[in-house]
Amino acid sequence: MLLLARSLANGARLLLIDEISEGLQPSMVDHVASVLADLSARKDTTMLLVEQNIRFATQIAVRYAVLERGAIVARGDASPATSEIVARHLSV
């Protein structure tokens, strides 16, 4: 959380974010998702988000890719259907 705050305060234009929702209490997960979604809507910051929490990721994502054993098995523009597409790959 501190690194994210420092990055935002310093005006970072590229954020590489790995599993940021892991270990956060649910209210903080929603708050972080809101902050990152707002940041994503701005055109001056690019994010690469690696996340297993599908609901969290789809609140933020513009595009998505699903990796399975190091290979991309699904990708595209994020939409309301993205959660279902990703979930199908995770249940296999």
Each residue of 45-81: pLDDT tens digit?
A: 889 999 888 888 888 888 999 888 899 998 999 887 8
Each residue of 10-50: pLDDT tens digit?
A: 888 888 999 999 988 988 998 899 888 888 887 788 899 99
Tally of domains within the chain: 1
CATH number of the domain enclosing 58 = 3.40.50.300
Distances (CA, A) of 91 to 23, 32, 37, 86: 23, 26, 26, 9
Regarding pTM above 0.85, the answer is no
Domain of 9 in residue numbering reads as: 2-90
pLDDT of residue 41: 82
